[in-house]
Amino acid sequence: MHIGMRHIRYFAAVAEELHFRRAAERLNVSQPALSRAIRHIEQEIGVSLFERSNRHVALTRAGATFLRGCSTALAYMDGAVDQAQKTATGEKGHLVVGYTDIAIAGRLPQILKSFRQRYPEVTLEPRHDYTRAQLNAVEAGALDVGFVTGPVAAEGLASLAVQHDGFIVVLYGSHPLAKQREIALADLAGEPFVLGTTANWTYYHDHLYRLCREAGFEPRVVQQASNSEGIFGLIACEMGISVQATSIENCLRKGLKTRPLRDCAATVPTVAVWNQDTLSPVKQRFIDFLAEQAEDLVG
């Protein structure tokens, strides 16, 4: 059977107008060409679709049934075209997005929420992981965009800062230093530290250890945990104190206290990172979205 989408659109126009001249004008084709197309359909399926007279055009019962099927086919095709166009422009697709504890405690939730509101047909798959693991996954193509502790310098990877955190001291409520409004970093020289595991928190520790060395000491680490929740739990057990990024305060455990560091202007950046060699339309759309808002995000 040789009936294409053009024939179906011609038939639907005549069925809706019930007038060959008006349908031809609507389709921007000649009336004889339209009449030939309708006869072709009727010959192919072997039934009459219209009752015709000099003054009257009406659908037959078979024509009414055929119209319902054609309407479904046209809606499906129009939807398929729309979805294909949105996929090509990055308005539809799937993104795997990595994040660290600091990223998800900070501005990342608002970033993803705003992106989903603008592009509701893009599905996001967030995955928690540490900075080094995310960088490896981005390089391998297993992760579209990672939100990691920066700075990042790796061949083939591009990055954009989305957040800058200062540093806070996290203490249990009865700790003597909790009575102070601000704490000098040097005052922590003799304190037991609770930090993230060395293997996984390397990028954050680079920032923290540099600060401590500038203050004249090395952190005395007595406990390590794999994530922020574990760090806070150990502090709540009064096993030590910690120095964390300010955004982590949004996830603080009940009973713990935070204090700003005195005379500390240093910050730790969270950056979006992606592989320049594997840019899909939807990934480019997400990167453009981040760049568009970069001034507000970093401010």
pLDDT band of 87, cuts 50, 70, 90 = confident
* CB 51 within 8 Å of CB 27: no
Task: Note whether 136 and 282 are same-domain residues.
Answer: yes
For 244, phi then psi, to 5°, come to -130, 170
Give the whole-number percent of the chain exceeding pLDDT 70.
98
Task: Note whether 148 and 174 are same-domain residues.
Answer: no
* CB 234 within 8 Å of CB 240: yes
Q: Which of 43-52, 64-73, 80-89, 152-161 has the lowest mean pLDDT?
A: 80-89
CATH number, domain containing residue 120: 3.40.190.10
Task: Note whether 150 and 226 are same-domain residues.
Answer: no
Mean pLDDT of 179-190: 94
Mean pLDDT of 274-281: 91
Task: Note whether 61 and 121 are same-domain residues.
Answer: no
Per-residue pLDDT at 40 exceeds 60: yes
Task: Note whether 119 and 141 are same-domain residues.
Answer: yes
Listed in sequence order, the residues at least 6 apart from 158 whose beta carbon sits closer than 8 Å to its beta carbon are 273, 274, 276
What per-residue confidence (pLDDT) applies to 150?
93
Q: Cα–Cα distances in Å, from 86 out to 154, 274, 293?
A: 32, 22, 22
What per-residue confidence (pLDDT) applies to 295?
65
What per-residue confidence (pLDDT) applies to 88?
73
**Number of domains comprising the chain:** 3
Mean pLDDT of 24-53: 90
Task: Note whether 117 and 206 are same-domain residues.
Answer: no
Work out the number of other CB atoms within 10 angstroms of the CB of residue 290. 18
* CB 127 within 8 Å of CB 143: yes
**Residue pLDDT, tens place only, 48-76:** 999 988 788 999 999 999 999 998 888 88
Mean pLDDT of 194-203: 95
* CB 98 within 8 Å of CB 147: yes
Listed in sequence order, the residues at least 6 apart from 155 whose beta carbon sits closer than 8 Å to its beta carbon are none
Per-residue pLDDT at 292 exceeds 50: yes
Mean pLDDT of 3-14: 88
* CB 156 within 8 Å of CB 185: no
Mean pLDDT of 37-45: 89
Query: What pTM value is reported for the model?
Result: 0.78
Mean pLDDT of 152-172: 93
pLDDT band of 293, cuts 50, 70, 90 = confident
Per-residue pLDDT at 299 exceeds 60: no
pLDDT band of 84, cuts 50, 70, 90 = confident
Mean pLDDT of 211-231: 96
Q: How far is CA 190 from the centre of its chain?
A: 43
> Given 54, 89, 124, which residue is the final one in a domain?
89
**AA identity, residue 269:** P
Task: Note whether 218 and 244 are same-domain residues.
Answer: yes
Task: Note whether 80 and 32 are same-domain residues.
Answer: yes
**Residue pLDDT, tens place only, 96-137:** 999 999 999 999 999 999 999 999 999 999 999 999 999 999
Q: 192 or 55, which is more confident?
A: 192
Q: State whether residue 293 is helix, strand or coil.
A: coil
Task: Note whether 193 and 205 are same-domain residues.
Answer: yes
Please count the residues of the chain.
299
CATH number, domain containing residue 78: 1.10.10.10
> Given 89, 124, 151, which residue is the final one in a domain?
89
Task: Note whether 191 and 236 are same-domain residues.
Answer: yes
Q: Which of 9-23, 92-106, 191-205 has the lowest mean pLDDT?
A: 9-23
What mean pLDDT, rounded, does the chain reach?
Answer: 91
Task: Note whether 14 and 150 are same-domain residues.
Answer: no
Listed in sequence order, the residues at least 6 apart from 283 whose beta carbon sits closer than 8 Å to its beta carbon are 90, 95, 144, 145, 274
Task: Note whether 120 and 237 are same-domain residues.
Answer: no
Domain region containing 158: 93-163+269-298
Q: Cα–Cα distances in Å, from 107 out to 100, 206, 245, 299?
A: 12, 22, 13, 11
* CB 131 within 8 Å of CB 83: no
What per-residue confidence (pLDDT) applies to 298?
46
Helix axis angle, 281-292 relative to 108-118, nearest 10°? 120
